[in-house]
A and B are shown apart, each in its own frame.
Chain A
Amino acid sequence: MQSDGRPNPDELLELINRSEKNERGGQLRLFFGFAPGVGKTYRMLQAAHERLADGEEVAVGIVYSHKRTDTERLVSGLPVIPCRLVEYRGHMLEEFDLDAVLKRRPTLVLVDELAHSNAPGSRHKKRWQDVVELLDAGINVYSTLNVQHIESLNDVVAQVTGVAVKETVPDDVFDRVNQLELVDLSAEELLERLAEGKVYLGEQADRAANNFFRKSNLLALRELAMRQAADHVDAEAIVAGDGKSGAIGTRLLVCVGGAPSSADLIRRARRMAAQTHAPWFAVSVRSPQQAHDSRVDQHLKLAESLGATTARIESSERANALVAFATKHRVNQIVVGKPKHARFWDRVRGSFLQELIRESGQIDVHVVEGVAAPDGDVHVGPNSATPSASPDAYGWAAFIVLLATSFAHLARVTLGVPDVVMLYLLCVMWVAYQFGRGPSLLAAAISVAAFDFFFVPPFFTFAVDDAQYLLSFSTLFGVGFAISTLTSRLRNEERAATKRAEEAHVLSSLSKELVGVHRDESAGKIAAEHVARLLGRTVALKLSPSFNDGETPELYSVPAHHIWQPKSMGVLNWTLQHGRSAGFGTTTLPTAEVYAVPLVVDSRRVGALMVEVDAEFPLGPSDAAFLSKVADHLAILLDRMFLARSAKAADLKVERERIRGDLLSSVSHDLRTPLAVITGAASTLNEHRGLDLTSRDDLVSTICTQAAVLERRVAQILEMTRLAGANPDLHKEWVPWSELVGSALSDVSALIGKREVQLSLVPEDGGAEVDGLLIGKLLVNLIENAHKHSPPDVPITVTVTEKNGGLSPGDGEAQNLGKHWLIAVGDRGAGVPAEERQRVFERFFQGHGSTSGVGLGLAICKSIARLHQGDIQVVQNEGGGALFVCRLPWTPAPRYDGDPDPS
């Protein structure tokens, strides 16, 4: 454990990252005061004038002058970006115009009142969010803030002043401040200014203000503000490289539960962490038996907004798991709340706190009293309510007991008292299972009453003759109570298990569907479709530009042609850009009727997922939680897919580079040889003018033949390059074999001279749907090859036959081929040894005894055959020599209906 006070490397790195981030983004200078009226706005305007004088491009985004002439005079000297006018409940409100500023892009913009809440319908709920966006866009911002608006000080201020402040700024925004300027005034001076009417207090001035502006309050606030400013200076010192701040080794963990006091616990932990600049974690630990509590989610969200790293642990040994987590993350201080339950439960279930303290080892454990905040203190995320039984359920409970009572009453002759009690217990149990705890307690109470009324003498009164029945009543009620508790817990667990199983099933089926997909295009589509099916909602999925080639469409909507409102698309794009959720129930564009969650893996933004939210499909907290679970899962799947794909692309690139390398080395040898001969012969002719005629002719004809060789090789290389390209064009047309073979023969006639070629075309007027030039080249190469590898006086055979069916002649699986063409070129040479029969079709393969040529002729043949969905191989010719057989698909002869009038 680190306790020597040395700066922790991770910590320093994080601070440095933060400062780097700040350097890339805009700079935030905050004019910070302890109360309204200390002169923050005035000081901000003065500073802006200084910048203006330095020649900087300054603009006023929004400044509240409150009609004070000296302030107004300062504003009038600066360029102002006009505010938006927003109508709200009949009032015209002036709101800061974020888009206008982003469009104009001044280097510095003044935005007064950082804690301001924007009018409904604005992009962000809070002004600080506007400022963060400005900073992210690289625009410097000057802003103002009072100490009571800092989120983590919120409750302290409320305690001290008795005035609750609703508008707060998250601490991480405050931490982002690059320059903090404390605007200070003594409490006496402020009160003097107040008395002179120099402080603007808003409409509800007097009473609240009188409360607030008490001297004791002001002193406390001033102290808070100064301490906060001093803390900030400390943090800056660390970033600046001093690194000597004492407690930098501190790492803090707060244990979060569902109790309302947890919120207060979190704030206290945040303050403890802030004082020592410690990184801090908020962790919820629950045992698998515990039902999911949505308040825990809210608390974790709150902690996240205060700058904590959050985590959830599920383990039956909670204390152990928590300590393990803490050790792993080098936490050395754990904050937990004081237990609120009766000691009895510790006996029953074991004390978490005691166990934690026993397990904690070197870690300090702070046990802190958390103050339960009044209801509604935590306003994070969509509002939630723990599910409670509907009034109907109570009705049903009563009805069932009455039903049982009438049945028992009718059958009272045969039923004994214990039977009746059993029947009631059965009812209570069933109600508990069906409707939960509340209705079952009602059922137990009614059961006792009815039992007394109908079955305990004297009948039809609530009076009891025999005192022993009192014991029966209490037993009946007690057992009913126990049953209802156990049963409803069982039911909750069963529901939770079912839900978990459902979710697991849903996620695993998503994985399964996506596993078989290799192209991101269909992956995006499949994912969107799946999520839409799953949620029964309209869904859009957008992938980050970096995660697609720019070829595939980025946006997948289900239904495919759903038209999204521009505002909805704004939500999706904002989420994609900022990697945070937006839309309905969040603080960004909350009025949109959509909710978007980012798909993020290891801070890589894969994309964003958006669902439609309307009256028909409201979005509860469990929906939102599930959606973010789906989003996480999807992000991992897509990310993995992208990685695999880029790895494959890299492999392909390597392969292509290898081929290119082969080609170059081959080219350099095979092209240089004829070039060398030509150069030699030409220079000889050039220098030795006196050569005799025979030598001259000899050299000239050498040049001509070598030039022809060179030309053929270049042509082959070009041909191969073209065929090996990504998508060689095929110009397929129906061509008769007689024409294909005929033009091939005329092309090779110069090379083979008088050598006999035996032809056989069956049927004579057959033809194929092929690229005539390429098939011609294939034939030319095969005939040239046969010519080169066989003695000159024996004929070459060329046969083209139509074959119906049959099995593929090659190795491996037997496959019915259907109708196809077989083109065979045979010679009577040495043949191809069995071990070379595969390799002869490889690029740059030089068979034994072959010295001329690039080794591309047969490779070209193979590429051409493949491009036509055919294949080629070499076999032993009957009677010796090689027989090259090319198989091409058969196509019917095209219809001929073009006979003009026989005139």
Chain B
Amino acid sequence: MMAIPIHHDAIMTPSSFSCLVVEDEPAMRKFIRVGLEASQFRVLLAETRKEGIEMFVSHNPDVVLLDLGLPDGDGLDLIKTVREFSGTPIVVLSARGLESDKVNALDAGADDYLTKPFGMPELMARVRAVQRRQLPVATSPTLSFGDLTIELANRRVTKNGELVHLTPIEYSLLTMFVKHPDKVLTHRMLLESVWGPSYVRHNHYVRVHVAELRKKIEADPVRPKHLVTESGVGYRWMSP
């Protein structure tokens, strides 16, 4: 694992917080810049993959907003290059209908994605979420999400105070989710960490166990509050 730089004071002082926007469409660039600057961010702009990597190296931004379709190559390459030496959060911007691109970007190390067209509030929410995840996780042995409590130390899960019986797989899945709150986890990531790398093609394993897990921890498994589906991409654990 690489060392992940941690910005302790990032959210408190936005003006010191820099955001690199790699986007070839001038209108999009303008809209994002205006929006971010209105929220007191320092904005760096790049038009191509090459320029993006150069800016990243020279300015070391706190977050990257990356358009996947760049004129000089796939944005995916930029993710891979950056991930070789840095854990800086990357949010991918991509059009609707290109779900497999999003999955590839997430599997390559992107932290989140936004489907175009998006509004400024959605963008800010994503940026804040990835930023928050950079903060050190409280090493509390007990996590609490509304009606749900998870005691990591003794593997106990309770819903409204009642003990929930989970199989080992369901428990592994649950801990994987709660350790990455608000982050989209693709099927591949879940299969790799819970079942092992040789199972990455068995997407239905995840689906079956997520359905089981939901029956046990959600009030209404079809309308989940904690473990929501990101269509065609994966699942996201919603922190309250």
Contact = CB atoms under 8 A, between A and B. Distances in A.
Given A704-B119, A900-B194, A900-B195, A746 B204 contact: no
Interface string B203-222: 11101101110100000011
B204 A715 contact: no
Given A746-B229, A896-B205, A739 B210 contact: yes
A743 B207 contact: no
Nearest to B168: A902
A718 interface: yes
Interface in A733-750: 733-736, 738-739, 741-743, 745-747
Contacts of A898: 195, 199, 202, 205
A233 B120 CA distance: 88
Nearest to B96: A715
Interface stretch (A205-213, A455-463, A765-773, A781-789): A765-773
A739 B232 contact: no
Nearest to A743: B229
A823 to B, nearest CB: 14
B97 A718 contact: yes
Given A773-B99, A776-B231, A738 B211 contact: yes
A772 B211 CA distance: 15
> Which of B97, B202, B222, B223 has the most chain A CB atoms closer than 10 A to its own CB?
B222
Contacts of B199: 898
A894 interface: yes
Nearest to A774: B232
Contacts of B73: none
B222 A735 contact: no
Contacts of A893: 208
Nearest to B232: A773
Interface string B147-174: 0000000000000000000011100000
Contact of A739 (B97, B169, B202, B211): B211
A903 interface: yes
A722 B97 contact: yes
B5 interface: no
Contacts of A741: 222
Interface in A877-903: 893-894, 896, 898-900, 902-903
Given A711-B117, A773-B231, A903-B168, A761 B204 contact: no
Nearest to B222: A742
A772 B194 contact: no
**What class of interface size applies to chain B in its complex with A?**
20 to 34
A743 B231 contact: yes
Contacts of A718: 97
A674 to B, nearest CB: 13
Interface in B179-201: 194-196, 199
A898 B119 CA distance: 41
B204 A894 contact: yes
A734 B207 contact: yes
A650 interface: no
A631 to B, nearest CB: 51
A759 interface: yes
Nearest to B230: A743
B228 interface: yes
A507 interface: no
A736 B208 contact: yes
Contacts of A715: 96-97
> Which of A722, A742, A772 has the most chain B CB atoms closer than 10 A to its own CB?
A742
A719 interface: yes
B224 interface: yes
A768 to B, nearest CB: 11
Contacts of A900: 168-169, 194-196
B222 A759 contact: yes
B146 to A, nearest CB: 17
A707 interface: yes
B228 A746 contact: yes
A734 B231 contact: no
Contacts of B195: 898, 900
Interface in B6-31: none
Nearest to B191: A898
Contacts of B212: 765
A772 B199 CA distance: 20
A284 to B, nearest CB: 70
Nearest to A745: B223
A715 B223 CA distance: 25
A41 B100 CA distance: 75
A93 B200 CA distance: 72
Given A739-B211, A761-B222, A902-B168, A772 B232 contact: yes
Contacts of A903: 168
A742 B223 contact: yes
A772 B231 contact: yes
B207 A746 contact: no
> Which of B205, B210, B211, B214 has the most chain A CB atoms closer than 10 A to its own CB?
B211
B205 to A, nearest CB: 5
B194 to A, nearest CB: 7
A719 B98 CA distance: 12
Interface in A689-715: 704, 707, 711, 715
A742 B221 CA distance: 8
Nearest to A772: B232
B204 A733 contact: yes
Nearest to B169: A899
Interface string B29-68: 0000000000000000000000000000000000000000
A761 B222 CA distance: 10
B229 A739 contact: yes
Nearest to A780: B231
A793 B158 CA distance: 36
A731 B100 CA distance: 10
A767 B207 contact: yes
Interface string A765-809: 101000011001000000000000000000000000000000000
A767 B207 CA distance: 10
Contacts of A746: 223, 228-229
A893 B205 CA distance: 11
A742 B205 contact: no
Nearest to A900: B195
B169 A738 contact: no
Contact of B207 (A707, A735, A747, A773): A735
Contacts of B224: 742
A735 B205 CA distance: 10
A222 to B, nearest CB: 80
A745 B231 contact: no
10 contacts: A715-B96, A736-B207, A736-B211, A738-B214, A738-B221, A739-B210, A746-B229, A759-B222, A776-B232, A900-B168
Given A746-B229, A772-B232, A776-B232, 15 more contacts: A733-B203, A733-B207, A736-B207, A736-B208, A739-B207, A739-B210, A739-B229, A742-B223, A745-B222, A765-B211, A765-B212, A773-B232, A776-B231, A898-B199, A898-B202
Interface of B: 96-97, 99-100, 117, 119, 167-169, 194-196, 199, 202-205, 207-208, 210-212, 214, 221-224, 228-229, 231-232
